[in-house]
Structure 1
Amino acid sequence: MKEKSGERKGCSYKEFMACKLPIYNGEVDPIICQRWLSDIEGVFERTHCDVTDFVAYGTGQLKGQAKDWWDNKKKEIGAEAARVMTWDEFKEEFIQLRQKGETIDKITGIFLDKLRFCDELVTTEEQKIYYYYNMLSAEYREFMTPSKYETLTEIINTAREWEIELKKQIERDEQRAQDMNPSPTKKARTVELGKKVDAKGGVAKL
């Protein structure tokens, strides 16, 4: 059977890799994320890449923390689900990519910026809440249920409240641990002070 005029069967991975491909290392800067997606999609178009190869080819350009994230995501959803994932579905996962240790304000800023270039994928308040929830670390998700919130603002405010509470808890735990087991540095200073007092003929109080 003859191919229709202008019809292409896509490109091989070798042909795809022959293009000047952008690498994404996991930077949380939304502009870098947007630029990477845009550049990769540009290569898809120029090479007439088949849509079924978008995710396999595109994710090959993830390095560092971004590659670690994708490897974990594949384990989480299963190899078959990752194999049949569409590019739009990948982008929905991609906007949830986060780095450990970010503050809630930082995560919120990143999420809102990412929404601007994925607005065609996240259109309802329910979706915004779901994707924001998934950007949070496990210590927050453990105490929060996405379905309980009606607006994105509500879940953001709850996350900020939990951040304050978790910080207080960490400070209490650290203080308790310090009271029960002083740091080696503190012990060393106490011993050193005692030796100095002894040397002067006084009584060392340790």
Structure 2
Amino acid sequence: MAPKRATRSTRATTTPAPTATTTTTVTNAQLQAMIDQGVSAALAARDATRNGTDSHSSGTGVRGSERVARECTYQDFMKCKPLYFKGTEGVVELTQWFERMETVFRISNCSVENQVKFSTCTLLASALTWWNSHVMTVTHDVAYSMTWVDLRKKMTDKYCPRNEMKKLEAELWNLKVIGTDVVKYNQRFQELALLCVRMFPEESDKIERYVGGLPDMIHGNIVASKPKTMQEAIEMATELMDKRVNTIAERQAENKRKFENTSRNSQNQQQQQIKRQNTGRAYTAGSGDKKPYGGSRPLCSKCNYHHDGPCAPKCYKCNKYGHIARDCTSAGNANTDNN
């Protein structure tokens, strides 16, 4: 048994304002328990702040170390396939380059310090010449210390001058669907709307301009539906146009079938009529083998021949004019009447 510890007590004095003192005794076991409790609380608090990054205990009972994220290298950046920009593609391509580059930044975990350095490696042709001139003017350290936002603004001022933006705004304001090609209209409208952001301070303004460029065959239906977002308006217009195109194609196919049937019937009728005409000509030609008389002798009503004077004798053996039966040289049989 460990001896008890006693605190030094003070004796009461006869002073006018005496103070009372107490005596507290703490054993070694109690002191050790208090220390262990404090250590346990501290360990629990530390484990709670690790957010589950510790690995499971190994066979030796030693905890694994926390996983450290690997820094993005240039090879990692290029594996994400960023776009290249030459400086001659135009405003739309520059905007697409911006969007693709920001996507690559996110998926490659590119640090802020390397964004300008890595992104400018995708510049080619005149764009690369422009960037190298800028680096030579302000030195490498200053050029690569700028932020991505500063680089984006600098390139926008270079390749998106104000007169070009006015042309794009005018194109967007007058953009309409050509024929039934809504897909091409959607793509161009979204490209221009992304550049001309100041034309549409509200989403409703953009929807109104989009619906205004649709053809009359679907314009009324879109207006009546009152879409709330651009995506809803685009999907609705695409679906309605597909239905109308299918309906038009079906009508054209039906009209083509009707026309073919009508043409076939008409052709058959013409062929039958031509056949009847040819048959009539054949009969006419067969019955008209005898050439018409071209002389001046009168037509005899008795023998139906043209001659002067009395009719020539008729052979009752061969039924021909010009001779009698006894002079007939024909081997054919005589008619019953003649017999």
TM-score with structure 2 length normalisation?
0.29
The TM-score with structure 1 as length reference comes to 0.46
Q: Which of the pair has the greater relative contact order for Cα pairs under 8 Å at 6+ separation?
A: 1
Larger radius of gyration: 2
